[in-house]
Structure 1
């Protein structure tokens, strides 16, 4: 048993002993080996994304989830996007069995012949016979593709309660008396089932229509929106009707009650990435295995969880890798009746900035996709009031219909765990899917940790999930929970965001867990830290061995980018932009360097004060890397080329920041002004960051 498995078993055994089953979900994101096209940078969809998503889904069906069924679903629609985003859903029984028995090896079929256009009406008649009825299809024209044939047949369910409490499925059909001039699909792209002239259905006919379309690429069924069991029966009838035919592509809407009996895995179009929505994982081991499978399948179809920057450098996909906590079902949810445990977790996260900033992407701070609740609202007062009110409900009689405090938690936290615009999805710890009856999919009991980035190694993501699980178990003990929030003030962004401080904070977390018998190996976390903050410059001084700690080390530091005003974009909408022109790096120098050497930036020395032996002084430099449009302070020139002079007893050395901003390169010693005053650009006297914009 590995150390990870031992920690997972120890943590989960504590949760089980407390009657808790904490489930995990995930949303890792992938990109192609050579991501080309706007769908792999800024837009959600494009010509290559659906094809590679289908290839990945088919590989999963063949090698990982044998017997699963693949459904193309319309997804969310956002302002400025013409069509809804799509999502491919694979579903399998929660016991691992196939809900639908397809005759071929895979669905869509890899074996057999496709249905021909001339065979469409006869096949629909055969399907109706298996359902015990006669379908009444209407033939529709496609203005975008004259070769496409599409038939639409109203099909719904009339449920009737029986004396034994069961609900049999009784199918209903209806004629669609549509004039010939109206028998045409709309001009939008996508499956025929999304392009039907439904406004012309008779008022007494439900908007539930089975659509068959046949084109040169094969045949496809758009299924009417049904509950889980009627949908399963319909799909089984489709499978039983095939004979020598290849199974069709399927489109439709996933039943709202699918999660009660089915496991569901999604492949979703998201800006710049392909997002994978994992099935609910009932243990850390399940979560870990899924990430391993995705890494293997991704490699086979040409996808990975990082981008190549050249020179051996890597960055994340640009998408998230969010982790979700929930319960096996809403009747056995771990947080609904344990509010003090939940607020203890939230306070612990607030007191440890590394959990928000170490594992996320380059965008941090109030304008990011995952702002901390205290930096979004600017202070701790309302958060503290809310957490106290929630934890005081522990063990008290509940007036809520469910007998617990799920409504109190949801109604309290969704207003506070939000960004500055009030978007409660954009939060470091989001409660938008916890308990909000007024929102679609708002009552799933999910706590979503969004400050997580896709990393080059899925094993790293598994390690982070293990840290989360260990902390959940650690904080079951009330004495391990902080009793109040910490008011970080300006130090949160000035000091705590620096790489050295993030690592020191994480070391404190690992020490807490080790003392509690949940010791995690720091090596993979150090590897993540090194990947996230690779050195811009390391200077060994007189040391001959690279194993010796450098006398001077510069590493990039996260910088919260400011939000600027609404900007018009194509399509008549407005968008909020951030000014990403600022960069920052941390300066770590040992006492000998501070005593004997000097570091000049663009001709002026940095105020490196002497430090005691074995100690280090925290210092960072903020500079304007580029001037964007639009941006804040357009009159301030960029500080590029950014030049350093390292003045040591053995002579001067010059360095210049590479135009891509990822390393300092040796250069001829640049000029400097003799007697130039040291940089003193601090917003506050107590700040650790020198801002070159203010001299």
Structure 2
């Protein structure tokens, strides 16, 4: 049996070698002269909680409190200014979600000198003097050269409208110009009062009028001043406003001040990190970094702070199974500014990237979360159907020929094709909705491309290794010599058959790593080892008769159920997750030696002949199905491989209500020349049927429980007359689907299946 790793799934301990490998790769990319910035969206959950907010829903009191704690810890460690902005509002939700943020200069210089956020201050019992603060702020704005008007709305809030005097027509008469500004302010003020804004700028204000909303709110039973900030178009203007606000607040002797309102403007000089709620998780939109070394340092701070608060990047089940946190681990790539995005600096890059992902399914599935496939959260361009692939081929050809495409042409040429089947671009594997999208105000034209087929990684080192991998691919394709592009591959049924098995995905990954090595962008040993690490899928291992049998969880493409068009409007969707797929892989104990040429004695040849006779069946000996193993070879040598699909449980709502659960799964490993065989039974629960004593304490205990579900026993080798061939409808080139046995009344491959 496979021994439990004391720290499974988590990456190797952080070492100088690993950090040095990251730095060296950053230097290699930098020498190419193309800026490639990277950002991530890690998600964390309370894996011990059974509350809805940590299982399925977005909002909840405990989640809000934990997010506040995380904000405080990150502020203490990383600094910056706390800014509470209005988050997104989704269909069916009464109010916009909250959004907690940290805004800071990249050079480390402070940018806020006013009163602290109440989460970082001791609050007196006395209410703040808002009138004095309002007067001082108005005076500061007028001293800057703004025309200012103030008014109270029906809820008692103070609305402060400000418009700069400069920038008007130099030939205009001063008195007429001031009257025109006053009239614009009066009209904007009337509109603002009528709309009762929760945050400024819900509706656009005329001209360059800024709206500040000043009020008090309760913070842990104490009245605190809150100022909602206007929409500022430039970092310089925003920072200038902060200086005025901070000075006025200090002069008014405010003990604390909540800053809220619009999200702040960003450029390469500042960083903006937000904490927001999502179904089952807290999501952190990390500020992008110019290299992976910076991302690694920031990720270590975040992971450590989250662990300190009992938040985990994964969820453990009672039987030792490991699941995602409940959210994804997307990565976004761009440049220091939209105009300097690598996808605009190298206009052939994006079409090449689309082609490369089409050629390498490993990049779509090997690091992906569970909800993958044509109805998943990161749909490949070739999972939309054959017609979609043909249109995509034409679109790429048009973008790759003739003049270099500009930003508008790139986005328009691919935005309608990089979507899921329903046309949702947000659920595409390669999401370009923020590349140069005119239909998303403010944040659509950012030059960004997001990789969505990534699960939440369990360690900052694993996150960094994948960032290096994807960044290296982008750099390689951006600097590839001009050549006739390779045609898109129509993988057909193999996409969800062959590439559902880790064996073929890992072999495909080796091709990617070889491409990078040949391009001078090889990952190096520590990073390559981290990328190859895939213990998450290990379910059992048996060594018998010179053979190594390994059982791993394979990819299963869970379908949506119910009204798909209606589900697409929701923040979470219902799938049938009852089908499980396993990979059965048999290797000789010395596979590389067996794959080499015969030695003079012929010993290697005899060993290869012996391995050729080993077989695997599924079911009890008296009615076992002989599995048609495929003889394959990879960088580790020869192997026999097949996938096995079965129903793991009967869902309350799902497909095939007449299909019963088909657990446990029983395998037999034997050789015709041997009298003894090994029976391997893979249980879905404890083999003795007893309850687990709570959830696993950590990943090591989870692996111990999982491996304990794989039980072996020595049995007589099955006789030829006991073996049957699987029904033809159950077989694909790479998989045997046991669910088809129910059609023939042979669903119970083990006498204990019904009881289980």
- TM > 0.5 fold call: yes
2:684 to 632, 654, 658: 658
Deviation at 1:326, TM superposition (A): 0.8
Match of 1:345, SS?
A: helix
1:76 to 88, 92, 106: 88
**Pairs aligned (count):** 654
Match in the other structure for 1:484:
487
Q: Residue 131 and residue 56 in structure 1: after superposition, are their counterparts in 2 closer, same or farther (change >3 A)?
A: same
1:497 to 486, 500, 513: 500
Match in the other structure for 1:223:
228
Q: Is the 8 A contact 2:55 2:280 kept in 1?
A: yes
What are the Cα deviations for residues 304-359 of structure 1, in whole angstroms up to 9, with x where unaligned? 32223357664331211111111122332322252323322221222111111111
Deviation at 1:423, TM superposition (A): 0.5
Question: Which deviates the most, 580-589 or 376-385?
Answer: 376-385
Paired with 2:189 and 2:340, the residues of 1 have a C-alpha distance of 49
What are the Cα deviations for residues 639-686 of structure 1, in whole angstroms up to 9, with x where unaligned? 134334455632553524223895543278999999465352555865
Matches within 5 A, 1:207-286: 208-215=211-218, 216-227=221-232, 228=234, 229=236, 231-240=238-247, 241-242=249-250, 244-255=253-264, 257-259=265-267, 261-286=269-294
Q: Residue 477 and residue 425 in structure 1: after superposition, are their counterparts in 2 closer, same or farther (change >3 A)?
A: same
Paired with 1:202 and 1:677, the residues of 2 have a C-alpha distance of 78
Deviation at 1:447, TM superposition (A): 0.7
Q: Residue 73 and residue 665 in structure 1: after superposition, are their counterparts in 2 closer, same or farther (change >3 A)?
A: same
Paired with 2:45 and 2:112, the residues of 1 have a C-alpha distance of 31
2:654 to 628, 631, 644: 631
Question: Which deviates the most, 272-281 or 480-489?
Answer: 480-489
2:561 to 564, 569, 572: 564
Q: Residue 683 and residue 430 in structure 1: after superposition, are their counterparts in 2 closer, same or farther (change >3 A)?
A: farther
Paired with 2:410 and 2:643, the residues of 1 have a C-alpha distance of 39
Q: Is the 8 A contact 1:7 1:470 kept in 2?
A: no
Question: Which deviates the most, 25-34 or 594-603?
Answer: 594-603
Question: Which deviates the most, 645-654 or 620-629?
Answer: 645-654
1:96 lines up with 2:108 in the alignment: yes
1:160 to 143, 157, 166: 166
Structure 1 residue runs without a partner (length 5+): 142-149, 187-192, 399-403, 544-549
Q: Residue 609 and residue 368 in structure 1: after superposition, are their counterparts in 2 closer, same or farther (change >3 A)?
A: closer
Question: Which deviates the most, 584-593 or 646-655?
Answer: 646-655
1:316 lines up with 2:318 in the alignment: no
Question: Which deviates the most, 114-123 or 618-627?
Answer: 114-123
1:53 lines up with 2:63 in the alignment: no
What are the Cα deviations for residues 202-255 of structure 1, in whole angstroms up to 9, with x where unaligned? 999979351312322441414142315554444333422235532222221114
Match of 1:339, SS?
A: coil
Match of 2:93, SS?
A: coil
What are the Cα deviations for residues 355-379 of structure 1, in whole angstroms up to 9, with x where unaligned? 1111111122111100111112446
1:513 lines up with 2:516 in the alignment: yes
Match in the other structure for 1:401:
none
Paired with 2:668 and 2:164, the residues of 1 have a C-alpha distance of 80
Q: Is the 8 A contact 1:645 1:669 kept in 2?
A: no
Structure 2 residue runs without a partner (length 5+): 1-14, 172-177, 589-609, 687-704, 742-756
Matches within 5 A, 1:193-208: 194=198, 208=211
Q: Is the 8 A contact 2:148 2:161 kept in 1?
A: no
Match in the other structure for 1:190:
none
| Greater relative CO, 1 or 2 (CA 8 Å, sep 6+) | 2
Paired with 1:205 and 1:282, the residues of 2 have a C-alpha distance of 32
Match in the other structure for 1:688:
734
Match in the other structure for 1:447:
449
Q: Is the 8 A contact 1:583 1:623 kept in 2?
A: yes
Deviation at 1:160, TM superposition (A): 2.9
Deviation at 1:692, TM superposition (A): 1.0
Paired with 2:205 and 2:344, the residues of 1 have a C-alpha distance of 45
Match in the other structure for 1:546:
none
Paired with 1:17 and 1:270, the residues of 2 have a C-alpha distance of 39
Paired with 2:466 and 2:93, the residues of 1 have a C-alpha distance of 34
Paired with 1:234 and 1:503, the residues of 2 have a C-alpha distance of 53
1:431 lines up with 2:432 in the alignment: yes
Matches within 5 A, 1:636-647: 636-646=659-669
Match in the other structure for 2:469:
467
Match of 1:643, SS?
A: strand
Q: Is the 8 A contact 2:497 2:732 kept in 1?
A: no
Question: Which deviates the most, 596-605 or 201-210?
Answer: 201-210
CA-based RMSD of the aligned residues comes to 4.1
Deviation at 1:276, TM superposition (A): 1.3
Match in the other structure for 2:591:
none
Q: Is the 8 A contact 2:200 2:262 kept in 1?
A: no
Deviation at 1:429, TM superposition (A): 0.9
